[in-house]
A = this chain, B = another copy of it.
Amino acid sequence: MYTAVVESIYLLVIVTLISVLQNAFFALKVEKECNNQNAKASAIERVSCANRNCMDAYATFLAVMWCAGLCLSQAPAAFAGILYLVVRQKYFVGYMGQTSQSTPGYLFGKRILFFLLLMCVVGIFNYLLTRYYGSDYKEYVETITGAASALLLLP
């Protein structure tokens, strides 16, 4: 049983590990900025705020990625997860670097989270169809999802 379990989650675990490393990177940035004697208060505030916004969304991201991976198929979910991490990195760096009044908004990665949410809904829907009508569209759905996940690469 062990191998079967790991086989169906290992891509998700890898993405989770990368996200943990990224969290550690963010936390080190915060720690470094706070310990820096010459840091301006605004810089500290900015890096804390960027980190906090990322952490606020982190539990939601993990939940929706794992649900999508478990309910439908793990490869597109992990791919979307990687893209989300890239977007998050850009958001964090952009938040720290901005000097004008205009901060990036509170939200980021909306499109990717929406895609993952949609994957969950489709997965649940397909399961209910299988259960009550005996018709399994899982293969078709997986193919479509795999193709659709490439659309996330569009800017």
In the assembly, how many copies of this chain are there?
3
Chain-B contact segment, one of A12-20, A84-92, A93-101? A12-20
Interface size on A, residues (CB 8 A): 53
Task: Tell me the smallest distance from the CB of A25 to a CB of chain B, in Å.
Answer: 12
A residues 94-110 near B (Cβ < 8 Å) are 105-107
- In the bound complex, what is the Cα–Cα distance between A10 and B127 (angstroms)? 8
Please report whether the interface of chain A is mostly helix, strand, loop or mixed according to DSSP. Answer: helix
On whether the beta carbons of B60 and A56 are closer than 8 Å, the reply is: no
Q: Is the CB of B121 within 8 A of A60?
A: no
* Interface set of A (CB-CB < 8 Å, partner B): 1-10, 13-14, 16-17, 19-21, 23-24, 27-28, 30-31, 34-35, 51-52, 55-60, 62-64, 67, 70-71, 105-107, 113, 117, 120-121, 123-124, 127-128, 130-131, 138
